[in-house]
Amino acid sequence: MEERIRKQLAFSLEIDKEKNIFRQTHLSGHGRNENDAEHAWHMAIMAYLFREYANEEVDIAKVMLMCLIHDIVEIDAGDTYAYDEEGLKTQKEREDRAKERIFSLLPEDQKTELIGLFDEFEAYQSAESKYAHAMDNLQPILLNNSNEGGDWREHGVTSHTVYGRQRKTKLGSEKLFEVVDQIIQENVRKGNLPE
């Protein structure tokens, strides 16, 4: 077997482990915790569906690939809950180590390409990364809303904390931030998100 395809197959098998990284967010209908691969797939489809609401024109294929790879590093680094202040302090360091190990399984050109895409997503500067982050914020809020705010209540999350994360959504999509704002306000009224 050629070295290049052997490396691509090794990477393909390694990323299967993303299916075993469970998030705090539950599937709609009060289902089990979702895994990272489901989250990434869901984000990628949503990015395509809502692309007309991006603040700027985006390369949708690039956005979708960002969505699909952004949590691969959690195979090693683990999932860091969006509202876990302690975990967030070490997240970048853990993810940088994981990024190097996991993407190094690939041939050098693909490693460079995917690390560049991952770093672009993390930098939050390009139109594509801002829009991809809007999906990363919108997807769990949709699930949480469908479950009557159960994950927020379980972790004692406040509306102030949710707004702190969701304000960045408007950098990628003003329109989708309006939707997020309505969801947050509805959950405040229902008592799912104390102020």
Amino acid at 109: D
Question: CA-CA distance, 96 to 105, in Å (whole number)?
Answer: 15
pLDDT of residue 153: 93
Q: Where are the beta strands (DSSP E) in 11-169?
A: 22-26, 33-35
Three-state helix/strand/coil letters over 120-138:
HHHHCCCHHHHHHHHHHHH
User: Cα angle at 157 between 44 and 18, to 5 degrees?
Assistant: 35
Give the pLDDT score at 82: 75
Query: DSSP state, 60?
Result: H
| Other Cβ atoms closer than 10 A to 18 | 21
What is the Cα–Cα distance from 167 to 26, expressed in whole angstroms? Answer: 22
Count Cβ atoms below 10 Å from residue 101 Cβ, excluding itself.
Answer: 13
pLDDT at residue 97 in the model: 97
Interval 52-58 mean pLDDT: 98
pLDDT for 59 equals 98
**Taking the model in full, what pTM does it have?**
0.95
Average pLDDT (149-173) is: 94
Dihedral pair phi/psi, residue 165, rounded to 5°: -80, -40
